[in-house]
Structure 1
Amino acid sequence: MSQTRVEAPAAAPEGRSAMRRALDGAGVQNISLLIALVLLVALIGAREPVFFGAANLKTIGTAVAISGLLAIGQTMVIILGALDISVGSVAGLASVASAMIFTATTGSAPLGILGALVIGALCGLVNGCVIVYGRVNPVIATLATLAAFKGVAQLVSNGRAQGYTGSDPVFVFLARGAVAGIPTLIWVLIIVALAVHVLLKYTDIGRNIYAIGGNDVAARLAGININRYILGVYLATGVIAALGGVLITARTGSGQPISGSEGLELEAITAAALGGCAMRGGKGAVSGTLLAVVLLGVLTNGMTLLGINPFWQNVAKGLLLVVAVVIQQVRSGERRVGLPA
């Protein structure tokens, strides 16, 4: 019997294979964000050369530190398959708490910061308990607590800035200090981002969070305690949002019930969605969120330098959120609402 010889497929060139591995490792979403960021920087820099100045770049970095923190917390929640609309209000409440505790303890910054973080954790637990034990949809639950936490912050502060931390060395270091030439605010963002990245990518906890967001029924059948993870993720998000509130206090020199925190929830959700987090859960990464945060920061800074009406900034952020969700919907292949199957 004659044997037919089957030719093995030609191996891909080594250089091309290495390039493909590099692209796969970086991710299509991250590469797209990098390209958009480079184009945006080139466009703004060509119109306003001051954009590339060290002082302006430092301004962008410190400006995105707080929104970046909240976006990282939002990333965990969205990967879990939920949403937290209350993070801005939690940051405002924590800002007020840190300043008021600081004043009540005769200038103890550690106690003020610790108290704010505890309050953030409690706010996160409230969100988690309403969702788990009240069986309320996460969007509705956190929409309610957004109003509630904001109301509490206004009640305890009478709607005014509280305390003065502008002369305390700890708060001053957080706001205007630097380590190795990098502002402390950026270091805080980097440390939190690395911690969450390691948690999500290299631990069983992170893998279980992805599993719950990807298919909660399968995760439950696999023995994962979903309720415990919901409580834990919302608690962690509350702590991260509270840390953002502490940074607001440090930057402004007082506790701010609303100023500095209002609208942060929109920025956090926009950055997470733009960074590749699937709104249905189970997909996303800290790296993509950080790139999106920088992109939004550059866009805001560029619009300011170009003298564009600041009201258009919210319009641009809203449009970016819509574009990000539409792209996700098209990629998923799911049927869009209102269109025939």
Structure 2
Amino acid sequence: MALLAPGFLSLGNLLNILLATSVIGVLAVGMTFVLTGGGLDLSVGSLMAVAGVAMALGSEAGLPWPLALALGFLAGGLLGLLNGLVVVRSGIPPFIVTLGMLSAGRGLALLLSEGRPIYGLPEAILYLGQGRLWGVPVPVWLFLGAVLLGQFVLSMTRFGYHTLALGDNEVAARVAGVGVVGLKLQLYALSGVLAALGGILFAARVNAADPTAGVGYELLAITAAVIGGTDLFGGRGTVVGSFVGALVMGILQNGLNLMAVPPFYQQLAIGVILVAAVWVDRLRARRRT
């Protein structure tokens, strides 16, 4: 990209890549936990829209900005928890449950907002999407903070060890004393909270909560996690790897934009990369066995 696109390696462009990647990267952190635990969450794009709308409606109703933010996080966390409840109580595969929430969440966002973007967010919330700290955009700091905290939790805590064990072998994890039901609920709730963070950052960047925000973002989050080495079938993954995967996608899109490549070719490239990443991952798994 540096050879093909003039200005690609400039500091301003590198910060633009991180900024453009921040929302997808935050979603990828939550997706890493769910995938590593043997689950799947296709609803994160819709949940980020619901969270953004909930936050904007709270602000529009006169709530102080901290309470409006809390409302957005609560909406994402509760819908994520609902995903987990349906998965553990019904026995329906996560693919179907979260696919249903993908549609239901989008409908809820459109219903709450009456199908219109909600403009005019408080300055304190706008700072989260448009402000700069020491010259670096605030969304980048929040993205990096989510990555570092997520990596620590997944690799250094009991919660992370249990998540890896759950994804590797649910029956063995249950026999070993892992609270499988509670852990699954926590994983989907965590994914919902991080989707809410992504929705809040997105809304703050454009100064509007759009009920159509996040369309297709679930696939981008899954792609970032898989490129970073997270196993689609659970038991293996790192948040730092998903960070790298998100950056790979961001660099690809940024470079193609600088080279004036039409957007539909970019979508084609992302699809090819996803299939190639899973294929390479399967080949590596066969070699290990």
Q: Normalised by the shorter chain, which TM-score bucket?
A: over 0.9
- 1:298 aligned residue (227, 251, 256): 251
Specify the alignment match of 2:60 in structure 1. 103
1:118 to 74, 79, 86: 74
Q: Which has the larger radius of gyration?
A: 1
Deviations 1:169-190 (A, max 9, x none): 2123212212222211011011
* Amino acid across the alignment from 2:83: N
Match of 1:28 in 2: none
Query: TM (normalized to structure 1)?
Result: 0.82
Query: Hey, what does 1:64 align to over in structure 2?
Result: 21
Once residues 150 and 47 of structure 1 are traced to their aligned partners in structure 2, the CA distance between those partners, rounded to angstroms, is: 39
Match of 2:101 among 138, 142, 145: 145
Higher alpha-carbon deviation: 261-270 or 176-185: 176-185
In structure 2, give the amino acid aligned to 1:247: L
Identity %: 37
Letter of the structure 2 residue corresponding to residue 316 of structure 1: A
Cα offsets for 1:75-101 (capped at 9, x unmatched) = 000000111000000001111111111
Query: Which segments of 5 or more consecutive residues in structure 1 lack a partner in the other structure?
Result: 1-43, 335-341
Deviation at 1:196, TM superposition (A): 1.1
- TM alignment of 1:193-212, pairs within 5 A: 193-212=147-166
Matching residue of 1:10: none
- How far apart are the structure 2 equivalents of 1:292 and 1:237? 18
TM-score using structure 2 length: 0.96
Question: Are 1:98 and 1:249, in contact at CA under 8 Å, matched by a contact in 2?
Answer: no
- Aligned residue identity for 2:17: I
Structure 2 residue 277 is the aligned partner of structure 1 residue 324 = yes
In the other structure, the counterpart of 2:191 is 237
- RMSD (Å) for aligned C-alpha atoms: 1.2
Distance of 1:227 and 1:321 partners within structure 2: 30
For 1:313 and 1:212, the matched residues in 2 are separated by: 35
User: Which whole-Å deviations, capped at 9, do the CAs of 1:289-338 have from their partners, x for residues lacking one?
Assistant: 1011111001001111101111112111111110111112222229xxxx
Equivalent residues in 2 for 1:1-341 (5 A)?
44-105=1-62, 108-165=64-121, 168-259=122-213, 261-333=214-286
In the alignment, is the contact (CA less than 8 A) between 1:85 and 1:139 conserved in 2? yes
Question: How far apart, in 2, do the equivalents of 1:271 and 1:121 lie?
Answer: 22
Quote the offset at 1:54 in angstroms. 2.6
Which whole-Å CA distance do the structure 2 matches of 1:248 and 1:175 have between them?
7
CA distance, structure 2, for counterparts of residue 314 and residue 130 of structure 1: 32
In 1, the alpha carbon distance for the partners of 2:262 and 2:229 equals 29
**SS of residue paired to 2:223:** helix
**Number of residues of Structure 1 aligned to a counterpart in Structure 2:** 287
Q: Give the partner amino acid of 1:116.
A: G
User: CA–CA distance in 1 between the matches of 2:10 and 2:259?
Assistant: 15
Partner SS, residue 116 of structure 2? coil
Which ranges in structure 2 are unaligned for 5 or more consecutive residues?
A: none
Q: C-alpha distance in 2, partners of 1:247/1:281?
A: 28
Shift of 1:251: 0.6
Partner-residue secondary structure (3-state), 1:46: coil
